[in-house]
Amino acid sequence: MMRDRNDIRRSCFSRVPALTLLSLLVLAGCGREQSALNVAGRDAAAISLLFWVMLVGAVLLWLMVNGAFLYVSRFAPGRFDERHGRRLLIGGGIVLPTVVLTALLVWGLSLLPDSRTPGDGLVVRVTGEQWWWRVEYWPEGATEPVVSANEIRLPVGERTEFRLLADKVIHSFWIPALGGKMDMFPGRETTFTLLPDKPGTYRGQCAEFCGASHAWMAFVAVAMEPEEFDAWLQAQAEDAAPPADDAARRGQAVFRDEGCGACHTVRGTDAVGQVGPDLTHIGSRLSLGAGRARVTLDDLATWVAHTDALKPEVRMPSYDLGEDELRDLAHYLKGLR
């Protein structure tokens, strides 16, 4: 059955509320912690400005094109001859897009150099592993790094330089609230800088598909006041605190007996493994398993017992330990602050 023009128009317009609702739902997914629209750094501000200018420009162009379409098809059909039509095609179809897109390209490119300016002293080397982040802090003049994992802290108001590498496959380093993303390649170092200007806790995420647990490759990023950051870094440089009570001592024995030190380092002990994350101060971190869980006794125990279920294809095996052993081990790890 043929549908007349009014039917088609009604069915098109009836979808507008549904589409608007869908767009709002999608936008509602852009939470504050991991959103390029929640601007907390100078580089993110440039990207946000670019986004809003592009969005407003696109909406204006959409209104113009659809307005012209509605006008000639509904309100003034047959009023334009071929000469007018050709002028409209050349003006609106060739000249206007060329001018608008060239202007946007030149202006967009002029924003780019800002994120590649040199750092103010602190260098953070991050290596993308499967699926976690090896993090080394090199304050100015340091001869050895402060090693950490799965958490990036940086001082507010200073430009921190990131040197990025990857172990086996390509990853991409991204803290949306602070700036753009940068790919991480095996064997080739990439560099960029970030300047946070608002203290806070944000979320970073690997932005390049890198394997089964790509979606579970996240981290917490914390922008701190410079004095606070210096104190934190100093504390991170310390060796691990010795176990504070019997449960922690039993947990340390489990850690030793199960051979955890073959893969993990706990500075100040005989655990010096380099395969997995450094655990010297894991108890003070804000997430576990690269953003997979929280650093609570329950989550630590669950992580050790069900690593592969929580993070598919992770290199760390699940450990079949008794409930007491798990609890003591979690207690020991939680005490590594």
Could you list the residues that contact ligand CUA (CB under 6 A)? 128, 131, 171, 206, 208-210, 214, 217
CB of 310 to ligand CUA, least distance (A): 16
Judged by beta carbon, residue 122 or residue 124, the one nearer ligand CUA is 124
Give the residue carrying structure tokens 């060739």. Answer: 94
CB of 277 to ligand CUA, least distance (A): 14
Judged by beta carbon, residue 251 or residue 291, the one nearer ligand CUA is 291
Pairwise CA distance, residues 75 & 106, whole Å: 38
Pairwise CA distance, residues 141 & 321, whole Å: 44
Pairwise CA distance, residues 189 & 171, whole Å: 12
What spatial distance separates the first Cα and last Cα of the chain, rounded to whole Å?
73
Judged by beta carbon, residue 42 or residue 181, the one nearer ligand CUA is 181
CB of 190 to ligand CUA, least distance (A): 14
- Strands 218-224 and 151-155, by their bridges, are parallel
Judged by beta carbon, residue 207 or residue 286, the one nearer ligand CUA is 207
And the tokens for 102?
A: 């060239």
CB of 32 to ligand CUA, least distance (A): 22
Pairwise CA distance, residues 321 & 225, whole Å: 42
**DSSP designation for 249:** H
Give the 3-state secondary structure percentages of the chain, helix then strand then coil, rounded to 5.
Answer: 45, 20, 35
Judged by beta carbon, residue 213 or residue 265, the one nearer ligand CUA is 213
Judged by beta carbon, residue 316 or residue 326, the one nearer ligand CUA is 316
Give the residue carrying structure tokens 């609570």. Answer: 296
Sheet with 151-155, strands from edge to edge, namely 151-155, 218-224, 200-205
Pairwise CA distance, residues 184 & 163, whole Å: 9
Judged by beta carbon, residue 91 or residue 186, the one nearer ligand CUA is 186
CB of 213 to ligand CUA, least distance (A): 8
CB of 125 to ligand CUA, least distance (A): 16
Q: Counting every residue, how long is the chain? A: 337
CB of 127 to ligand CUA, least distance (A): 11
Pairwise CA distance, residues 195 & 182, whole Å: 15
